[in-house]
Structure 1
């Protein structure tokens, strides 16, 4: 990648001149502007010449800067480059050239970091220039000056040249946001030839940065008359300019004349190899190292696309039959609904520990008694409401059976002391389960133990249920589809600064923002560039519950956000400085190009403070199925990505695209306490949302935050404005239906209003029953504090009956919303197409 006396482009073509021209693409859910572009060669050779710096500001107190420049283009190569150091100079000149192979459909941002070399301490990074390679046109050499500081006339000079590679091709899969590139498999063979050497150590270490395997050890079999060999493999991006780093054993360093006993590190660049051809890369002493490149390509195991998966689409078709029959019954319709007249209804919840779990049981019971549960197609939960969902979905026909049975079972668990969960037998059981989980290949965290505790707390015996097992409950459309919600976060960032919605269904697990999904049974397995590399046993759902309801994951900055305080003060102390800079001459602008950015990092003290403020005690850790995938060149123009982008790194593709080894999942309630986001995916076409709030503090705060979130991103959502009088004296139910573009919202705050006087709708309490109507849900403390795991039977029944009553007492509002949704669907149908097919009136 560094300077050379010959053309690397010529070398590339000479090594393998038989590659086909052009690019073959598989597109899934891509925007129209991307799909319709003509097919052109997309592999290019980028030449970067670091010329000089002018008027470099002084970094050392006693001398001028000892300056060098680091180059980093992670989408092209995992090998960084750097210039030589020019000591004690304000105007260093380098004139050093570096080369990269780039895929133009990927967002390639070249980072040039100017550093000051120090002898006694770590080198200082003075600043970084980030340049979008999409600004360049093939065949035109440009000489650019980046104006870093107009006042001091500080400038960095570089020369850039982009050239098409006419003889190379690459298969890619993309949805317009993420790109899965072609993968190769490198077989590395170590042959031990016949020798009389007395030394017996035969241990090799091979490393290929950026590969799935990373580092591998090889030990050939004991020497025999025929010789012996050892083999290992590396999977890597085909056009990533790989280098094979080898640590050779002591014996290989001996020549016939003898030498000192030592190990030797060797780094070998691997140009394009002919597939299936063995090439010797090292002969030394009694060993020979050879490599062979094989096609590692196969169909992607990660689904890149924003559409619903085929299984969910099939479920919705089946579910609409159930919903159509239920709506005809409760709305007293004269005719069967046609398929395009059936509204999609969703139930969403908020978090609140055992309070929310208990309250949700009461709400579901009331919806079932009213016949509304059969009108629901989706149930979305977060935090502790996922405990309710996981419990009911243990029965494949739960919504068709009386929920009072499961409620009686959960009542016994809630009122029972939790001390038994800490017994010696249970501790031994936890240890055994965690050891087995580690042996399976999962990365352990404290949330795994928390999940086992939840399982013990809510079940009389251990549950073996897995998320994919819930597919049985959906096979005939007999129940709503459950959606569980979590947040993916990054180290050194608060949840407000970086969070990504991750949804879990019995069919798939995936990211709303990226449109990337894997089968639920494959979640937790190891992936690379969209390919399943190592299948791990599917996690039991209790371990997922530990991740969904991870109450231990909030940082100090998260607490600041939850308390309603601004993070601006802390950001000033912990964030680096970033601003756009001009390059001269000015290059032509394109909508999808990113401006050239100058980043000036904070010092060690600020970095330490940042680490302290953003440190999370515990996060749930799973293998990252996005590992290796890269961002599309026009990802910021994709409307689905823009709908869900909400991190400070969304416009920093190198940092956003650092698809690390692990996902770090936290409880959604630490950002917005609602499970609504996956329901708002346009592909789900939800018409009515029944929003059940079990929040322990302000009942309107989650709704306000969700409304603001949707407004900022252009997501259709009802206007939920309430007067201060209404906020101070909340009713049991509100209906918001102000726009045909947004779903109808029926909102149930957790309040104790008419329940104080009525034990059932229109049935007044007698004086002896008044105590049963006094339910204190006005705050998040006792008797329903979020942290409480045990209730008295009386308090459990009060909360259950309250939430059930609030639904029953507002049945007319729910029916009004359903009727309005049916009428809206009929109007939409009459204004579009007159043709539609009848649904059979039979119900499962």
Structure 2
């Protein structure tokens, strides 16, 4: 990227006659349904000249700073550029020029980091300027002074020049938040020229930084005959100015990548700038005495293997159409309607959502679903969402493709047998050998194995007589005719060195897709866990069994210290004070015109080593579940912060820092949602699902209102339509079995069921009082998370299992009138909405 390594614009165009003109942008909602637009996104040449600094701060008290500056623009190159070091100067001058090729539709944030060079210790990072390149207009040369510290008159002087590259554009696919760019495939061929020694093996290492493969090894074995060859492949962003780094066997060779061939000795890695070659044809870049290295660039993958879009996938839309027929008939029956509901306009979408609570929540959910089935309301439901241990209930039920059409007492009897059984059998020698074998096979398949995989196998052992082979995609059979509600499982993606409060991203799992609510990026459920780059499937890895996903969804080992502080209800401001760097907006002179999507220039000063150590201690998680990152390589759109769907779910400290938000991490790190908010509601509130009624089944321990309060506050802060959930102090102290909230016409009707033992103490069924001998069966202590229903308790007595099951079933049955009220309200809303949108109404209005 420095002036010594990269050609200016005119030289680049002359050196790349094979570059093809792109056809434009695609707005993507699926692997095959994007449409071309005219006026393709432009590739530009950005020239950055680092001129000087004035009144530079000291890194220490002993001497002036030995200063250099690093330039990092990750959307253009994965490598940092840097100036030379100016020693012992308060006013260093560089006048060094650097060049970057950028895509105008991508959010390009240039980071200029000032360092103090140290001899015996790591270099000190003094400050970083974050500058949005979108502020520079094509054809414009801008000379800027960044005010780093107005009081001390500390300034950084930089010159920018942005030029369109004529005749070169790029095919991109975008949903307005993420951008998939063109991918090239580099074939590296190593050919044997002559036998050097029958016993000499020649080992080659090739690296293309920023590519999917990153590093590849090739060996020419001693037993190979003359004329043999080996080939390896790299996939990378086509217009990213890549370099091929080569570590070669030590022997005499000729460098063939320049016009003047030089005889050299490969004693250290060599780098070949690929953008300077015409790779349309096979090009020899290195020739030794016994081998030759050649490269050739080909077009990469065409269609995306993930879906960029916020709409529901075609399979889920088809499911909803089929499910509405079932729901319409069920609603007519339970509401005793005189007329059939029109499926397209009058049938409300009803969702059941649950909260976490270990075996308590798994058992309680069975009781709730049993009662909903008895009332006929289960057939009125289109979605069931779960997290943590309620995913165990869901996964168990969806092993049967017609479970909701059968009496649930069957699977309840089966799960009771497992709950009351000792779990020591799961630690038997035979089981331990089985776990080891499964984990070894999983690792060989290409998955990254962690302790949560062992936990998933343990869960499988707890609730099955024998190992289950079911996968998430297998559940498509349970919804392909609309015969059951669609299951949605929820998890959080987190980052190292951040508390869950500071960084978390909702990830939903359905039998059809796995994806991010915030980014609008989804992959087929059978492809989750495989390796992706820029939205293309690079390496297919066998789909995980659902028990391994259960280990991720209910990962009780992922809590860190900061999460515990948050969940305890205490403020974590004190810890933030000691673990966060400083960040402030700064001025540049002259002031540049502002566009709505341009980010403000800001200055960040890193935290010290002590704060780094403290943050690692506070935010370190014992275990996270790790899966290959299917977002790898994708970049953020220039206007991503204006996208309504992104703004609806953005809530991390990095959302306005695209370089850090979208780092090309190889892995997703998934944790239990309950360590942030104990709710599975977010995917239910996606506007595209148009949910009209939510049956909120709360199974949390301790406060029964805290999860609802936290999520209500979350929705209010993010502008997500949600009903007001205010409860009186008397209600908070003496909770009833059900509350209906319907004050917001833009939000679903919410029927909220706290886990309480209210009238169940006196009634064994609605309006059926207990006899004196039955009173003991009504005493169920669910007021806290301690025994007999503690969250960490894995085994219940048969009596306690039956009590909890009957309690949750009773609470649903005893509030039939409130459930029907919520359903009737939703139907009436749909009718009013239809009447308001009718042509006759519009004419009258």
Give the TM interval when normalised to the shorter protein. over 0.9
Q: Structure 1 residue 218: deviation in Å? A: 1.1
Say whether residues 1:632 and 2:623 are aligned partners.
no
Establish whether residue 264 from structure 1 lines up as the match of residue 268 from structure 2.
yes
The match for 2:183 is 183
Residue by residue over 1:317-345, the C-alpha shift from the partner in whole angstroms, topping out at 9 and shown as x without a partner, is 00000000000001111111002100000
The answer to whether residue 150 in structure 2 is matched with residue 150 in structure 1 is yes
Spell out the pairing of 1:474-513 with structure 2 (5 A cutoff).
474-513=479-518
Shift of 1:200: 2.2
Aligned: 1:123 with 2:123: yes
Q: CA deviation at 1:191?
A: 2.1
Query: TM-score under structure 1 normalisation?
Result: 0.96
Please point out which of 282, 286, 290 is paired with 1:278.
282
1:302 is matched with which residue?
306
Using the alignment, how far apart are the partners of 2:199 and 2:699 within structure 1? Answer: 71
What is the deviation of 1:24?
1.6
Structure 1 equivalent of residue 140 of structure 2: 140
Q: How does 1:504-653 map to 2 (within 5 A)?
A: 504-653=509-658
Secondary structure of the 1:96 match is strand
- Given that 1:513 and 1:641 are in contact with CA atoms closer than 8 Å, whether structure 2 keeps it comes out as yes
Report the CA distance shift for 1:740/1:321 in structure 2 as closer, same or farther (over 3 A). Answer: same
Alpha-carbon distance between aligned partners in 2 of 1:36 and 1:557, rounded to the nearest angstrom? 47
1:14 deviates by: 1.1
- Aligned partner of 1:313 among 313, 317, 325: 317
Matched, 1:792 2:825: no
Q: Distance in 2 between matches of 1:476 and 1:62?
A: 76
Query: Is 1:332 aligned with 2:339?
Result: no
Displacement after TM superposition at 1:151 (Å): 0.7
Counterpart check, 1:365 vs 2:366: no
Mapped contact 1:510–1:517 kept (Cα < 8 A): yes
Q: Which residue of 1 is the match for residue 213 of structure 2? A: 213
Taking structure 1 as reference, are residues 767 and 225 closer, same or farther at Cα in structure 2, changes over 3 Å only? closer
CA apart distance, 1:557: 0.5
TM-superposition CA deviations, 1:284-313 (whole Å, max 9, x none): 333321110000031000100000000000
Deviation at 1:104, TM superposition (A): 0.7
Paired with 2:765 and 2:771, the residues of 1 have a C-alpha distance of 12
Alpha-carbon deviation of 1:130?
0.6
Aligned to 1:192: 192
Kindly indicate whether the alpha-carbon contact (under 8 Å) linking 1:12 and 1:272 is maintained by their aligned counterparts in 2. yes
CA deviation string 1:132-163 (max 9, x = no partner): 00101001100111100011100111110000
1:477-507 CA distances to partner (integer Å, 9 max, x unpaired)?
A: 0000000000000000000000000000000
Equivalence for 2:244: 244
Question: Which of 793, 810, 834 lines up with 1:805 in the alignment?
Answer: 810
Which runs of structure 2 are paired with 1:770-781 in the superposition (5 Å)? 770-781=775-786
Distance (Å, rounded) in 2 between the aligned partners of 1:163 and 1:529: 26
The answer to whether the 8 Å contact 1:145/1:157 transfers is: yes
Measured at CA, do residues 723 and 113 of structure 1 come closer, stay the same or move farther in structure 2, by a change above 3 Å? same
Q: What is the Cα deviation at residue 280 of structure 1?
A: 1.4
Question: Paired residue for 1:379, among 362, 384, 387?
Answer: 384
Which residue does the alignment assign to 1:735?
740
CA 1:91/1:123 → structure 2, altered by over 3 Å: closer, same or farther? same
For the residue of structure 2 that corresponds to 1:213, the secondary structure is coil
- How far 1:25 moved relative to its partner? 1.4
Q: Which residue of 1 aligns with 2:295?
A: 291
Q: Which whole-Å CA distance do the structure 2 matches of 1:7 and 1:330 have between them? A: 74
Q: CA deviation at 1:167?
A: 1.8
Contact 2:16 2:275 in 1 (8 A): no
In the superposition, relative to structure 1, how do residues 196 and 557 fare at CA in structure 2: closer, same or farther (>3 Å)?
A: closer
The match for 1:430 among 422, 427, 435 is 435
**2:108 corresponds to 1:108:** yes
- SS at 1:232's partner residue? strand
User: Are 1:41 and 1:164, in contact at CA under 8 Å, matched by a contact in 2?
Assistant: no
Q: CA deviation at 1:251?
A: 2.5
Aligned to 1:827: 832
Residues 209, 688 of structure 1: alpha-carbon distance in 2 compared, 3 angstrom cutoff: same
- Partners of 2:566 and 2:225 lie apart in 1 by 70
Q: Would the alpha carbon gap of residues 658 and 260 (structure 1) be closer, same or farther in structure 2, given more than 3 Å must change?
A: closer
Residues 600 and 478 (structure 1 numbering): CA distance in 2 closer, same or farther, change over 3 Å?
A: same
The answer for the alignment partner of 1:839 in structure 2 is none
- In the alignment, the residues of structure 1 paired with residue 284 and residue 5 of structure 2 have an alpha-carbon distance, to the nearest angstrom, of 24
In structure 1, distance between residues paired with 2:277 and 2:365: 60
User: Deviation string for 1:441-471 (max 9, x for gaps)?
Assistant: 0000000000000000011111111000000
Deviation at 1:35, TM superposition (A): 11
Q: What is the rounded CA distance, in whole Å, between the counterparts of 1:196 and 1:727 in structure 2?
A: 84
Deviations 1:787-832 (A, max 9, x none): 0000000000000000000000000000011011001001101111
**1 CA distance for matches of 2:600 and 2:430?**
61
Say whether 1:443 aligns with 2:454: no
Inter-CA distance 537–94: structure 2 relative to 1 (3 Å threshold): same
CA distance in 1, matches of 2:238, 2:36: 26
Assess if the C-alpha contact under 8 Å between 2:785 and 2:791 holds in 1.
yes
Distance in 1 of aligned mates of 2:225 and 2:418: 69
**Alignment partner of 1:60 is 2:65:** no
CA positional deviation for 1:525: 0.4
Distance apart, 1:276 and its partner CA: 4.2
Of 100-109 and 270-279, more deviation after overlay is shown by 270-279
Q: CA deviation at 1:169?
A: 2.0
Query: Are 1:753 and 2:758 an aligned pair?
Result: yes
SS at structure 2 position matched to 1:250: coil
Q: Distance in 1 between matches of 2:525 and 2:59?
A: 52
SS in 2 for 1:47: strand
Q: Distance in 2 between matches of 1:6 and 1:319?
A: 59
Local SS of the residue matching 2:595: coil
Per-residue deviation, 1:62: 1.9
1:578-612: CA deviation from partner (whole Å, max 9, x where unpaired): 11111111000011010011010011111011001
SS for the counterpart of 2:251 is helix
* Cα distance in structure 2, aligned partners of 1:47 and 1:135: 14
The Cα shift of 1:737 comes to 0.5
Partner of 2:258: none
Q: How far off its partner does 1:11 sit? A: 2.0
Instruction: Note if contact 2:705-2:732 (Cα within 8 Å) is conserved in structure 1.
Output: yes
C-alpha distance in 2, partners of 1:3/1:528? 30
- C-alpha deviation, 1:197, in angstroms: 6.6
- Root mean square deviation of aligned Cα: 2.0
Residues in 2 aligned to 1:301 and 1:582: alpha-carbon distance in whole angstroms: 43
**Measured at CA, do residues 653 and 107 of structure 1 come closer, stay the same or move farther in structure 2, by a change above 3 Å?**
same
1:17 aligns with 2:17: yes
Kindly state the Cα deviation for residue 281 of structure 1 after the two structures are TM-superposed.
1.4
User: Structure 2: which 5+ runs fail to align?
Assistant: 256-262, 841-845
Q: CA deviation at 1:253?
A: 5.9
The Cα offsets for residues 674-714 of structure 1, whole Å up to 9 and x where unpaired, read as 10000000000000000000010111111111111011111
Cα drift, residue 616 of structure 1? 0.2
Q: Measure the CA separation in 2 of the matches of 1:41 and 1:408.
A: 60
Offset, 1:60: 2.8
1:655-734 alignment runs, 5 A limit: 655-734=660-739
Q: How many residues in Structure 1 have an aligned counterpart in Structure 2?
A: 830
Q: Secondary structure at the match of 2:577?
A: helix
